């Protein structure tokens, strides 16, 4: 059963399907360009998914079949991103969604069809996993618009593709086709257009059926590991591992193995 929840704008949709929460960017007439209002609504949806115990995996996608997201809504820049104050306010407001996505305690999957550009690419990079159709393309046309990104916001691309490929993508502003994105490690999986939804659904279910505390321990452990050593939260890393070994799910996992049945994990 799918439960749809209204958000502050019909350009961001929230759907819950069992253990999977779907956040859909729904501005297809602008190739799913993201306005500040949409970013606020997307932050609200993330908060709702994170607070809902029934949701174990979050999938982000774009409506309309042509685009995941074509970045920030450029048509709004004149009004909302022109002066120094506007630029700061814009960054601060947009930051909430980015931080909720990046810090999400639940695994996030970007399900990408078509254009994945600028801020849309950033949304995908802030997810844990990216699955894209073979006709998708990726780019950061900042240099074509006169935009600059703070070092922190370039981090994910550098981590995935390395500094040289990141420079190539940013210096040229070119569009990287999905096969190249796969080779560079920017996307985890490339699938045929007709297979995308089914692939992601099965993938999300695979994660959703696993022990949530183990998935969280992996997520936190890896995200802390890629930080500079002096910025790592070692106490958090120890806690998430201790939580696994103290959990009912650990008992359930080993019993199910011995009894040759599928485990039923609760996240406790």
* Residues found near ligand COA in the complex (CB under 6 A): 30-31, 33, 67, 70-75, 115, 117-119, 141, 145, 147
Give the nearest distance from C-beta 143 to ligand COA in angstroms: 10
**Joined tokens for residue 14:** 């929230």
Nearer to ligand COA, 33 or 184 (CB): 33
| DSSP-assigned letter for residue 174 | P
- Residue 245 CB, nearest approach to ligand COA (Å): 45
Residue among 72 and 170 whose Cβ is closer to ligand COA: 72
CB of 106 to ligand COA, least distance (A): 27
How many Cβ atoms from other residues are within 10 Å of residue 216's Cβ?
17
Beta strands in the chain (DSSP E): 2-5, 12-17, 20-25, 57-62, 67-69, 108-112, 115-117, 129-133, 137-139, 176-177, 189-191
The residue (of 87 and 147) whose beta carbon lies closer to ligand COA is 147
- The CA distance from 165 to 171, in Å, is 10
Q: What are phi and psi of 124, to 5 degrees?
A: -65, -40
Q: Which residue is nearest to ligand COA (CB)?
A: 118
Q: How far is the CB of 154 from ligand COA (least distance, A)?
A: 14
Phi, psi of 126 (to 5 degrees): -80, -5
The minimum distance between CB 76 and ligand COA, in angstroms, equals 8
Closest CB to ligand COA among residues 63, 145: 145
Closer residue to ligand COA, CB minimum distance, 34 or 215: 34
Alpha-carbon span 49 to 20, nearest angstrom: 9
Given a contact cutoff of 8 angstroms between Cβ atoms, the answer to whether 9 and 38 are in contact is yes
Minimum separation from the CB atom of position 142 to ligand COA (A) = 7
CA distances from 172 to 135, 169, 175, 187 (A): 20, 6, 9, 20
Q: How far is the CB of 112 from ligand COA (least distance, A)?
A: 13
d(CA 48, CA 60): 14
Question: Between 35 and 247, whose beta carbon lies closer to ligand COA?
Answer: 35
Pick 31 or 220: Cβ nearer ligand COA:
31
């Amino acid at each position: 059963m799918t439960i749809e929840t209204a958000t502050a704008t019909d350009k961001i949709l929230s759907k819950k399907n069992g253990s999977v929460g779907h956040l859909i960017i729904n501005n297809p007439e602008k190739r799913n360009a993201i306005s500040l209002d949409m970013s606020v609504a997307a932050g609200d949806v993330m908060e709702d998914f994170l607070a809902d115990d029934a949701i174990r995996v979050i999938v982000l996608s774009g409506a309309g079949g042509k685009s995941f997201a074509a970045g920030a809504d450029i048509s709004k820049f004149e009004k909302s991103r022109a002066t120094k104050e506007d630029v700061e306010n814009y960054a601060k407001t947009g930051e909430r969604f980015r931080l909720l996505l990046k810090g999400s305690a639940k695994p996030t999957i970007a399900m990408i069809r078509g254009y994945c550009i600028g801020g849309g690419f950033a949304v995908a990079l802030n997810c844990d996993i990216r699955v894209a159709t073979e006709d998708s393309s990726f780019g950061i046309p900042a240099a074509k618009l006169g935009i600059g990104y703070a070092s922190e916001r370039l981090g994910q691309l550098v981590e995935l593709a390395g500094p040289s490929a990141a420079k190539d993508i940013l210096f040229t502003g070119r569009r990287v086709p999905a096969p190249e994105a796969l080779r560079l490690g920017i996307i985890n999986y490339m699938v045929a257009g007709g297979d995308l939804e089914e692939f992601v659904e099965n993938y999300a279910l695979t994660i959703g059926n696993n022990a949530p505390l183990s998935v969280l321990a992996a997520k936190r452990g890896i995200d802390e590991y890629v930080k500079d050593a002096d910025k790592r939260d070692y106490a958090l890393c120890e806690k998430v591992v201790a939580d696994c070994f103290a959990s009912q799910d650990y008992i359930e996992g080993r019993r199910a193995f011995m009894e040759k049945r599928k485990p039923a994990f609760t996240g406790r």
